[in-house]
Amino acid sequence: MEAIINDPAARLILAAILGYLIGSLSFARILTLLRTKSKHVEPINEPIPGSDLRFESNSISATVVSLNLGKKFGCLTAILDMVKVALPTLLISRLFTDQPFYLMTAAAGIAGHIYPLYHRFRGGRGESPMLGAMIIINWFGIFIANATSMVLAFLTGSTLVLRYGWYVVMIFWYWIYFKSIYHVSFMVVANFLFWFAMRQDLAKFWELKDEEGLEVSEETVSDFLLMGKGPGRFLDRYGLPALLKKAFKKNGTP
């Protein structure tokens, strides 16, 4: 034990192993088993409003639980997924105060959630674990990044920017606030893990959105992402692209 305390490399390895093993716990599966007595988690296979098409995803996450068991269990899954990364990150930050080894714990926890050791490396996309880690690392940065993404969503008229844009903004915020290559590297790695895990879902989404004859409003996207219809409806009506379109139409510009 003394060797671990005094050896930076050993502490780094311990931080990574602890984060990954705990992050690999799949609360989506655990709650599904407790609720249904079945180990099978029904994957996402949702209809696209206004068409005969369906959106499919193999993600095992709080979203799946929300769709299968209801929002109450989905919310509980999200909270537990946040806690499973937040607590080990907090523990390592208190045990080893001379270097930010807790960043390795957080990154490994996110990786464990996406590629869980106990479930053939098939997990979720990493949103809840990322949020849990960021609450410990710099909680008020979350509000600043979200406020920024709201502005960017208004400028672009995009619900996807509103939902996911703040993850990218956090990279710049960490650089401004911490001025530390370690913190910026963590946020870059977290973004890479998330976007890499999301690549197939995003590809399918854009394929469906570009489907001939299928018009997908931001309200529909917002509702599909379980954000409610309000944010998307606002962007459809008052996002900058919508306002510009109305202004040009009013002036008779084709």
167, 168, 170, 176: CA torsion to nearest 10: 180
> Nearest Cα to 73, choosing from 62, 82, 60, 83?
62
- What are the pLDDT digits (tens) for 207-218? 766 665 556 788
- Report the alpha-carbon distance of residue 129 to residue 62 in Å, rounded: 11
Residue 56 — φ and ψ, nearest 5°?
Answer: -115, 140
CB 196 within 8 A of CB 187: no
- What are the pLDDT digits (tens) for 73-83? 999 999 999 99
pLDDT at site 56? 78
Mean pLDDT, to the nearest integer, of 70-75?
93
Q: Which residues contact 49 (CB under 8 A, 6 or more apart)?
A: 220, 223, 224
Across 175-209, b (16+ Cβ under 10 Å) vs e yields eeebeeeebbebbbbbbebbeebbeebeeebeebe
The 3-class SS string of 164-206 reads HHHHHHHHHHHHHHHCCHHHHHHHHHHHHHHHHHHHHHHHHHH
Please state the domain extents for the chain: 2-250
Q: Enumerate the β-bridge partners of residue 57.
A: 44
CB 19 within 8 A of CB 31: no
- What are the pLDDT digits (tens) for 167-205? 999 999 999 999 999 999 999 999 999 999 999 888 877
- What are the pLDDT digits (tens) for 109-162? 999 999 999 999 999 999 999 999 999 999 999 999 999 999 999 999 999 999
pLDDT at site 229? 87
